[in-house]
Chains A and B, each alone.
Chain A
Amino acid sequence: METLERFIAEHPFFAGLESYYTGLLVGCASNVRFEKGTSIFKEGGDANEFYLIRAGKVALELIEPHRRPIVISTLSEGEILGWSWLLPPYQWKFNAHALEETRAIALDGKCLRTKCEQNHDLGYELLKRVAQIMERRLEATSLQLLDVYAAR
């Protein structure tokens, strides 16, 4: 438990979070490892986890029928994977699979939601951090959609 708490506290996503809160989060946490090529979640599945990546690389993919999957983003050490656990209907919007052996802390989504409802300060803190990442990814997606390198 002590190690898990340290991993959570040291992960960039939770940088500067008061130890009282990391103490609350550790009850929802477990260590996970995905072998290279393993599917982590699939589009439409229940989004019950939130991952803090400690090592490795994960691909987020979109599947279009009769076409090869398109990798729209890769995530590595120090990043988070998945925020669908936070917002209804709590379903994954993409596929994720490990491009390399990947180690992460998995936080149980239901457990997190319960703790956030019980402690709104924790909920607000988590929401602020997730919103910051959403904002950056939205900006990156805008640039991606502009297809700036296409021939004009």
Chain B
Amino acid sequence: MAALATILEKTDPMLPQPYVVRQVGKETPDTFGLTLEPEDGASGTAFRPGQFSMLWVFGVGELPISISGDPSDSGRLVYTVRSVGKATNALVSREVGDGIGVRGPYGTGWPVEEARGRDVIIVAGGIGLAPLRPVIYEVLNNRKDYGRLVLLYGARSPRDVLYRKELAAWARHRETQVLTTVDYGGLSWKGHVGVVTTLFKYARLQPARSVAMLCGPEIMMRFVTRELEVHGLSRDNIYVSMERNMKCAVGFCGHCQYGPHFICKDGPVFPYERIRPLLEKYEL
């Protein structure tokens, strides 16, 4: 009976599992990296790049956060959290050893299997790089299975650039092009200044053999999809990650309904062609 109760607890999608904070680190002035491990020391949770978890800060609330770690490292879950409100503030204020409840992982992932043998174009804006980082790990861990990796990343200002050391390290990989830009720069910033779409003129793209994965503010993704199409990428090969207010994460509550879709269950990653008609609807 006790064994059955344990199984039910483990399989109930609404019941958070106890995890412990193993590491908290500042990425930018308002963004933090958070590493969690299961409290019972058991092996962690496998996830697909693009999936998210529901993280419970007990006594404060629950919130959906994309997994931003390496999918080959299933012993722990890594998140990148931007502190913008009560729950995210509470989350990034946890200390090593503190407990956090984790539900998931949930949602569809990026099409990393379909992308095998092809070039991968990643376009990310702001915190949107976090859900795409597992794709970068996946491609670089299995380098010979993929063609070129092109990462175009836009941040608000130099101090908002995420994963600075990793960006530099990724750029050193063969067949990998990493271009970073900021919307506004100071005199000490020697990199590119301009919105993320201005990077396309420097990108070495082979549209006919590429899959593009986009994550960032919706308006940015609209501009980027236009740019990708101008460069000859077909809509069928473009994938976007959407964001809406998620509560149950399993398609019960309807909080994240987006037209006929539930972002939590049918997304957050969608083929662009499937949601294109909805992207320009103000009401949604």
Contact = CB atoms under 8 A, between A and B. Distances in A.
Given A72-B193, A143-B219, A150 B156 contact: yes
Interface stretch (B45-53, B57-65, B110-118, B183-191): B183-191
Contact of A148 (B184, B193, B219): B219
A68 to B, nearest CB: 6
Contact of A140 (B187, B189, B198): B198
A147 B192 CA distance: 17
Between B154, B184, B198, the greatest number of chain A beta carbons within 10 A of the residue's beta carbon is seen for B198
B202 A76 contact: yes
A48 B134 CA distance: 50
A59 B219 contact: no
Contact of A149 (B160, B186, B197): B160
B193 A73 contact: yes
Contacts of B82: 151
B84 A72 contact: no
B220 A148 contact: yes
Q: Please classify how large the interface on chain A is, using the bins under 10, 10 to 19, 20 to 34, 35 or more.
A: 20 to 34
B201 interface: yes
A121 B30 CA distance: 54
A148 B218 CA distance: 9
B125 interface: yes
Contacts of B189: 71
Interface string A29-62: 0000000000000000000000000000001010
A78 B185 contact: no
Nearest to B181: A74
Interface string A127-148: 0000000000001100110111
Contacts of B185: 59, 70-71, 74
A140 B220 CA distance: 10
Given A71-B187, A74-B192, A149-B127, 17 more contacts: A61-B187, A69-B186, A71-B185, A72-B184, A72-B193, A73-B193, A76-B202, A79-B201, A140-B198, A143-B220, A144-B184, A144-B195, A147-B183, A148-B220, A149-B154, A149-B156, A151-B82
- Report the 5 A-B pairs with minimum CB-CB distance, sorted nearest first: A149-B126, A71-B185, A149-B156, A148-B217, A143-B195
